Structure 1
């Protein structure tokens, strides 16, 4: 067995301190109410922007219950979580909200297609970490997972504050994101745009919503990076953009305009196939508008 010599790095000290705190929390925490999986993690990690939505449960004494899997993927799994406050009688719920818990798989991020192109413009403050990312070492893959989570949470916060139709980012702890659940109160997730067969009026309305949403994103300096009808939800007629870990900084990434063009054409093709008239003209007009909003021209 090899013994490590020398001083601990700041990262190692933080990791040890976090483990000690976790053990102490487990030792002194009161028993969980029936049906709860853990005490609420509110207050840990990064928190979403203010003002916070009224529906969000932030009280001390709240608990989290995992209700099931929303979806699984190569890079992350999404679970449905209920955050709730037990009533004083111990047998009912005083308040609750539904959240989407997105957990990145750090050891499987090598499956993130063309991730090297997406992380252009994303750099750490340490050359050792940058080398690990470039060489895709095990440590580098862990850093990439952290970068995806950090990038998505930060982008969601900025876009939500700017008025874009995205889920409210509740908090980030490591590679776990807690986000606003887009769906019904019974836990049914909103359908993806790809699954819809809208009539002409609904189609035109959704196109208008998409154009407005992408203008807000471009004005903030971004494009989605992997936009398609599969990562756009529609809940009660409202369009919502999701899955933004690969969000592209249009200024920092040298291929920014390429990703912007691809994003627009991916969704415009779906709208044209559903019968939206003048598809090519609308696509070019939208691209021109987005480049102007992003100050690329």
Structure 2
């Protein structure tokens, strides 16, 4: 997977403190904080929206660097022919066609070879992976990437850009997720030799294949669910242990005039009106039904794995999807999902029955 060079100190991350005020730290400071193992609330903030605001965009960062310091990049004179700090060439064409998202491609997705992927900051930490905010953009006036024959299809003075989430899975040695057996039962990989290698944890190849199985499982689940109409983020591509997907959230302008990306809040933080609560329930049960008809259960569904993007719900975190036919624990896992989400809706005044939902999903699956 292409790696980013060290991020410039001008790339800022905004997160809410516990008192609701905005704090600011440089990318270098952020890495120091990560090494100090700051907790999840400190990384994600505890504001109502539960998301991070990150300064985004080529040309959206601050340019107040002292010129006497040669270690800082001069962002006032960008080089449109080579990626800068915290950037890489777009990896869209560097992966095989089967590792890209399903068609039809959304019109917001940037697929130009001349685009840069710019890492803007961390959005979320998890038990088995971390999520980073990525801007994929074609700089204004940039031509095709080196060694590419693609013509420049953008209008003069215009640039294509989109925000993505890069979910990067840790190796098995560094992951904190210890319930893998329950989810992996009945799960097969595409090649039988890889399956045999996974069963041999002592071999280097077996460990390498095992390290990518969670990323593969999530990408395939997102691809199939999105194609079937489930409310999930669009899966852009997979490259090794990195899954690129749609960023769910909004962009706002802060007091200093900079564009900020604000991730959609988790459902657990929301207090919707009665009408919106019913709409959320209909959207959620529709998504669970789509998964059931695909023969799948989410496996870890809760208000923490559901985003409330305005009036729309988006189901996230699908690496542990369970095959309802092949996994012997599938009924137990599906019932747990039903009880967890129904408990949240019941606590907010909506009369829902987890057993009835469970029976309905099983009927649709079989």
Question: TM-score category by the smaller chain?
Answer: 0.7 to 0.9
1:41 partnered with 2:94: no
1:193 partnered with 2:267: yes
Q: Partner of 1:270 in structure 2?
A: 344
Q: Partner of 1:294 in structure 2?
A: 365
Q: Partner of 2:133 in structure 1?
A: 80
Q: Partner of 2:165 in structure 1?
A: 100
Q: Partner of 2:235 in structure 1?
A: 169
SS in 1 for 2:286: helix
Q: CA deviation at 1:109?
A: 5.7
Cα distance in structure 1, aligned partners of 2:333 and 2:299: 6
Q: How does 1:209-220 map to 2 (within 5 A)?
A: 209-220=283-294
Q: Partner of 1:222 in structure 2?
A: 296
Q: How does 1:2-21 map to 2 (within 5 A)?
A: none
Deviations 1:211-265 (A, max 9, x none): 1111111011100011111000010210000000001111111111111111111
Q: CA deviation at 1:145?
A: 2.5
Q: CA deviation at 1:83?
A: 0.1
Q: Partner of 1:11 in structure 2?
A: none
Cα distance in structure 2, aligned partners of 1:189 and 1:141: 33
SS in 2 for 1:188: strand
Cα distance in structure 2, aligned partners of 1:207 and 1:199: 12
Counterpart contact for 1:84–1:96, Cα < 8 Å: yes
| Larger helix fraction of residues | 1
Counterpart contact for 1:33–1:86, Cα < 8 Å: no
SS in 2 for 1:290: helix
Cα distance in structure 1, aligned partners of 2:341 and 2:207: 30
Deviations 1:186-215 (A, max 9, x none): 310000001111122221111111111111
Q: Partner of 1:23 in structure 2?
A: none
TM-score by length of 2: 0.67
RMSD: 2.4
Q: How many residues align?
A: 263
Q: CA deviation at 1:82?
A: 0.3
Sort the Cα spacing of 1:198 and 1:176 in 2 relative to 1 into closer, same or farther, 3 A: same
Q: Structure 1: where are the runs of 5+ without partners? A: 1-17, 20-29
SS in 1 for 2:160: strand
Q: Partner of 1:130 in structure 2?
A: 198
Q: CA deviation at 1:34?
A: 4.7
Deviations 1:21-75 (A, max 9, x none): xxxxxxxxx9525566101001233101011100000012111111111011221
Q: Partner of 2:247 in structure 1?
A: 181
Q: Partner of 1:111 in structure 2?
A: 176
Cα distance in structure 2, aligned partners of 1:217 and 1:247: 9
Query: Which of residues 189, 203, 218 is equivalent to 2:277?
Result: 203
SS in 2 for 1:194: helix
Counterpart contact for 2:89–2:113, Cα < 8 Å: no
Deviations 1:260-282 (A, max 9, x none): 111111111111111212x3xx3
Query: Which of residues 209, 215, 221 is equivalent to 1:143?
Result: 209
Deviations 1:69-92 (A, max 9, x none): 1011221110000000011179x7
1:243 partnered with 2:317: yes
TM-score by length of 1: 0.82
1:50 partnered with 2:124: no
Counterpart contact for 2:185–2:327, Cα < 8 Å: yes
Sort the Cα spacing of 1:158 and 1:68 in 2 relative to 1 into closer, same or farther, 3 A: same
Q: Partner of 1:9 in structure 2?
A: none
